Structure 1
Amino acid sequence: MRLSKRTPQLNAGSMADIAFLLLIFFLVTATISSDEGINRKLATPCPPNEDCNLASNNRNILRIIINNDDNIMLGEDVVLLENIKYEIKTFIDNNGDNTCSYCNGKQAPHASDNPREAIIALQHGKQTSYKRYIAVQNELTKAYHELRLQYCMKVLDKTYNQLNETDLKQIKEAYPFRVSEAETK
């Protein structure tokens, strides 16, 4: 009897199928992280042949500056991150011109005329950390959220879950989110 010196052949036809199935399995089960950002509505660009300079009273602009050392400044004063929300709420809800029937402000001369006129001018240095910038943005969002929630309870006499589209529009008109990151003069 003769012995063959040939090695047996493996059928590699199904190997490609198995590799393909493993690839599909890992693509389906793997989680792909998605980048998230800050949900903000950007200002519309200025139409050609129109003057788009901001004609606002200086009193209605709250300047928040985050310098290169991550210090937060309101005007010329350095403030703590924990105090930003209170300062923003006090500025926006001031009722300086006495036209706001729902405002709780004390009509301070250094704060805004009313919430519809209030503008938050946020600026940051080139070396400002992203973490500090986001922390200030979060405090800004919290301030507006609390003011809108207060309006919801006081004026509309509803909880946030009971609101309809008309109510939400009314709240956004009462406390419009007006934040500018353009350089102010």
Structure 2
Amino acid sequence: MKASRKTISGLNAGSMADIAFLLLIFFLVTTTFPEDQGIEGVMPKSCPEGVDCTAELHEKNIFTIKLNRNNELMANNELISINELRASIKAFVDNNGDESCEYCHGEKNLTLSDNPKKAVIAIHTDRESTYDNYIEIQDELVGAYYELRQELSQMKFNKKVDQLTEEEVLQLQESYPFRITEADLNQ
């Protein structure tokens, strides 16, 4: 039998658009998008218990870090490199200027902080500075406090920080409290 030229054989593709639309909706509904983690930080209470938040803060107890739009780093109005920042922070925090700190090893410099509990780190960044440089500053800051707490842990408990109990960790945090403030240079 001979096939007629007028008959067209093929598939009915009328419902293909409906199927593609249903598949699109299915994948949109079932797909999950990962959320950006960002920098984890814990916002402090407005005024912690046992702390006099109305007390005047002396200028020598503030270590100022400035990052300008050219990504130049200044610590207490002196141009420094990121490699020098950690040592500068440690010297400032561990200074023991008022000689009230029994565990401090600082030089007792009268122009630096009185003791670790009064030391405040102030970070000022320009909006046009890079995020990578800001993260490097944060890393050096956290590293400085970690090293100070590690040294105190060895001296006081004869243990590494990761081997301490929760109570011992709290004692280290009270000895070297992490007190920072951040501001935008453009404000």
CA distance in 1, matches of 2:139, 2:36: 17
CA distance in 2, matches of 1:71, 1:115: 27
Between the aligned residues of both structures, percent identity stands at: 33
Give the superposition deviation at 1:37: 2.2
CA distance in 2, matches of 1:181, 1:54: 19
Q: How does 1:28-177 map to 2 (within 5 A)?
A: 32-45=33-46, 55-177=56-178
CA distance in 1, matches of 2:182, 2:54: 14
Change in 2 beyond 3 A, CA 1:19/1:182: closer
Give the superposition deviation at 1:164: 1.0
Unaligned runs of 5+ in 2: none
Change in 2 beyond 3 A, CA 1:2/1:76: closer
Residues 67-93 of structure 1, C-alpha deviations (whole Å, 9 max, x = no match): 121111112210011000000000001
Give the superposition deviation at 1:125: 1.6
CA distance in 2, matches of 1:8, 1:66: 69
Change in 2 beyond 3 A, CA 1:94/1:68: same
Letter in 2 for 1:114: N
SS in 2 for 1:78: strand
TM-score normalized with structure 2 length: 0.77
SS in 2 for 1:181: strand
Kindly tell me the number of residue pairs found equivalent between the two proteins: 175
Change in 2 beyond 3 A, CA 1:23/1:76: closer
Give the superposition deviation at 1:41: 2.2
CA distance in 2, matches of 1:160, 1:75: 30
Give the superposition deviation at 1:102: 1.0
CA distance in 2, matches of 1:78, 1:124: 14
Give the superposition deviation at 1:52: 5.8
TM-score normalized with structure 1 length: 0.78
Residues 146-179 of structure 1, C-alpha deviations (whole Å, 9 max, x = no match): 1111111111111223211101111110111100
CA distance in 2, matches of 1:139, 1:175: 15
